[in-house]
Amino acid sequence: MRRQLFFRMDPPKVLVIGFGAIILLGTLLLSLPASTVNGRGLTFLDALFTATSATCVTGLVVVDTGDIFTRFGEMVILSMIQIGGLGFMSFATLLAFILGKRISFKERLIIQESMNNATVEGIVRLVKRIFIFTAVVEITGGIILSLRFSQEMAAGKAIYFGFFHAVSNFNNAGFDLMGGFKGLTEYVEDPIVNLTMISLISLGGIGFIVMNELFEYRSTRRISLHSKIVMAVSGVLVFGGALLIFIMEFNNPSTLKPMSMTGKIFGAFYQAVTPRTAGSNTLNIPDLKQSTLFLIIFLMFIGASPGSTGGGIKTTTFAVLIGAVKSQIRGREDITFFGRRMNYSIISKAMTVSLIALFLVGSITMILTITEPGKDFLMIFFETVSAFSTVGLSMGLTPELSSYGKVLITITMFAGRIGPLTLAFAVTKKRKEDHYRYPAGKVMIG
């Protein structure tokens, strides 16, 4: 009866309740004495913050993961990262496969909503492939990182570290076990760690829909408009961002200046890739120039792509907005990409998502300037965008947040992972179609 009631709800409500239940369970587990090294467990608020950050694959932490948690606590976090990254409905579908149960149409709609897929057709087959893709990528990344870490750690620890960081980065979570809130700064010039992490982050952030199309390309010889836009925008943001970071940080004595040319290139590329909602870092974020920090805020706000493990307003949303501006400047009515016209509903959705996101980020930032007096505005703004876009990069504010600040950032992470539009649909009444239209009116713009 409860299961029927749960799946009778609108898909957005199911997603909100489902993610909320996972976060609550994680909060209870991280509050247990067995979860922390000191044997006392986290306080409820810190446990809630950490569970939300892990389930929403953000990576912002109020306590250092490698220093505070036991293996049990770390495995709880890793489990929430995996479930949160792939979506709890994907795991529910996997369980149904194992038990031999049929996936109902309503459940397929919920999976479609959770993955931002355009159609329900083939959604179950896509979920099966998602688990195959995930297993192959995470195992491959885990093996490579394990072999690298084994050069400086015991074999067992190296394997554990390798697979933990592979899962964390593929799911764009950004949690690390290095301790001392230092992230991966020790590996800034390491080619194996850099290339492996960048590959994991990129594959997780590009979206399973694109990965599936690339996998089928040999037989279909077809790439959809969605995938073309995702790959084009992702390429511009990564390579353009890396070039700008390289230029702005080249002579910064606290970041790139002391490094070799190879280290400078790796450092610039990693910091351009990680704002795509990954959250791990090889440069110390507070040491970056303000211009670089502002660029990273811009990259974080755009985020990853639909149907991925990442957040943000998404690359396709950004592309549609740029297309709208371009069309207006040229005096054209249609927004076109690769010889295809965008429907009005897509343009309207892109604008709605962006405006809700801007309103949420602006509101939370303003409130945090009140709850966190004396803190630098750029630091507060950076942390808020990082939370909303489920990135996890931090200028050091998160561990110093007040109780009110932790609650606000927790809400922001949750809203960012669910998606601003999905969350808005979940908290409003059931949507009804209008059976009439008002007369057209004119308003002066600009």
Concatenated DSSP letters of 344-378? HHHHHHHHHHHHHHHHHHHHHHHHHHHHSTTS-HH
Joined tokens for residue 325: 């501006």
- Residue 107 confidence (pLDDT): 63
What sign results for the dihedral spanned by CA atoms 437, 438, 442, 446?
A: negative
In this prediction, residue 284 carries a pLDDT of 94
pLDDT of residue 311: 85
Decide which of 176 and 15 is more confident.
176
Three-class SS state of 337: strand
276 — pLDDT class (breaks 50, 70, 90): confident
Tens of pLDDT along 350-378? 898 899 999 999 999 999 999 999 899 99
pLDDT of 181: 87
Among 360, 325, 365, which Cα is nearest to 342's? 325
Q: 315 falls in which pLDDT band (50, 70, 90)?
A: very high
Phi, psi of 36 (to 5 degrees): -120, 155
Q: Around Cβ 235, how many Cβ atoms within 10 Å?
A: 10
pTM: 0.89
Residue 6, pLDDT > 50, answer: no
pLDDT digits (tens, 9 = 90+) for 368-404: 999 999 899 999 999 999 999 999 999 999 999 999 9
Lowest-confidence region among 158-167, 238-247, 361-370, 423-432: 423-432
Measured from the Cβ of residue 221, the count of other Cβ atoms closer than 10 Å reads: 7
Domain ranges of the chain: 2-427
Poorest-pLDDT segment among 39-48, 163-172, 211-220, 379-388: 211-220
Question: Quick one: what percent of the chain has pLDDT higher than 90?
Answer: 58
The residues near 130 (Cβ < 8 Å, ≥ 6 apart) are 86, 90, 208
The Cα 423–Cα 418 span in angstroms is 6
Phi then psi for residue 25, to 5 deg, are: -65, -45
Mean pLDDT value of segment 182-191 = 92
**Average pLDDT of the chain?**
87
More confident residue, 344 or 301: 301
Give the tens place of pLDDT for each residue, 45-85: 999 999 999 999 899 999 999 999 999 999 999 999 998 88
